[in-house]
Amino acid sequence: MLHLANALLWFTAFLLSTTLHEAAHAWAAWRLGDPTGFLVGQASLNPAPHIRREPFGMVVVPLLSFFTSGWMLGWASTPYDPRWALRHRRRHALMSLAGPAANLLLVLLAGALLRTGLQFDLFGLPSQLSFSQLVTASGQWAGVARFCSILFSLNLLLLAFNLLPVPPLDGSSAITLLMTDRQAARYLSFIHQGPWMLLGLLLAWNLFDRISAPLFHSALGLLFAGFTLH
């Protein structure tokens, strides 16, 4: 029963995080001149249109990954006009950064809730930390403590992973802010070819495996600054 309850908390956090990430992309693109995602409902905070677009990445893979590894991974997507991206590469870069910015917002929100709970003795620090348990609590606060822990961990990992500068991740488009228009146009045309997308994902997983643990420990150092671990 506890495992199922934990799965429900993870899935709720995953849907919230992924939906906000994709909605931020669609909303930013719309505000910057490309209504493609907005017109098909991707700017919504309702997870339903995002699930309809990517049911495998939004439901099947997250649940399978949780029951095999204890945490969730998956994906979603928001359509945009590639011609708009080539014409307005700075706007495209800003649209790409909107998704990770949404994850950063959730990291800060979850972190603020965790620190507030610790400050008012609603939460305690566990003897052993995990993605699902950054703090402990009893009674009515136990579920809140676990959900905030999951929300913080998940969005920290989503933020870092999506900012890796390899296709098809958001960071690969964001780096065009450092390029000239001609360089950006060539680069965007190049990375949108199929083989580079697959190679980019393989490289991203390799890079992320190297940086995720140091990143997580550094983030926890900031989160728990001023508190004493048992």
Domain boundaries along the sequence of the chain? 2-223
Q: Are 96 and 170 in contact (CB under 8 A)?
A: yes
Q: pLDDT exceeding 90 applies to what percent of the chain? A: 63
As a whole number of angstroms, the distance between CA 32 and CA 39 comes to 14
Per residue in 24-35, pLDDT tens? Answer: 999 999 999 999
pLDDT value at 104 more than 90: yes
Q: Which residue has the tokens 């045309």?
A: 189
Catalytic residues: 22
Alpha-carbon torsion (50, 52, 57, 62), positive or negative = positive
For residue 7 the two structure tokens come to 């799965």
**Contact (Cβ atoms closer than 8 angstroms) between residue 154 and residue 134:** no
| Residue 219 predicted with pLDDT over 80 | yes
In three-state secondary structure terms, 11 is: helix
| pLDDT, position 166 | 85
Average pLDDT of every residue of the chain: 90
| Predicted pLDDT of residue 128 | 86
User: What value does the mean pLDDT take over residues 63-77?
Assistant: 88
> Looking at the predicted structure, is the pLDDT value of residue 85 above 90?
no
Both tokens of 55, joined, read 């049911």
Count how many Cα atoms sit within 13 Å of the Cα of residue 129 in the half-sphere of its side chain: 19
Handedness of CA 93, 94, 97, 98 (dihedral sign): negative
pLDDT of 157: 92
Q: Which has the minimum average pLDDT: 36-50, 101-115, 215-229?
A: 215-229
pLDDT tens, residue by residue, 172-187:
888 888 888 888 878 8
Q: How confident is the model at residue 230 (pLDDT cuts 50, 70, 90)?
A: low
* Whether residue 215 has pLDDT greater than 80: yes
Residue 2's pLDDT is what? Answer: 61
Nearest to 20 by CA among 104, 89, 110, 79: 104
Checking if the pLDDT of 20 tops 60, the result is yes
Residue 229 has pLDDT above 70, yes or no: no
Phi, psi values for residue 209, rounded to 5°: -60, -30
Q: Which residues, including other chains, have CB under 8 Å from residue 91's CB and lie 6 or more apart?
A: 29, 32, 33, 34, 84
Q: What is the pLDDT of residue 197?
A: 67
Contact 36, 95 (CB under 8 A): no
Residue 196 pLDDT? 66
Instruction: Classify each residue of 79-113 as buried b or exposed e, where b means 16 or more C-beta atoms within 10 Å of its C-beta.
Output: ebbeebbeebbebbbbbbbbbbbbbbebbeebbeb
Report the distance separating Cα 214 and Cα 128, nearest Å: 17
| pLDDT tens-digit readout, 118-152 | 999 999 998 888 999 999 999 999 999 999 999 99
In this predicted structure, the answer to whether residue 96 has a pLDDT above a threshold of 70 is: yes
- pLDDT at position 210 is 85
How far apart are alpha carbons 78 and 22 in whole angstroms? 6
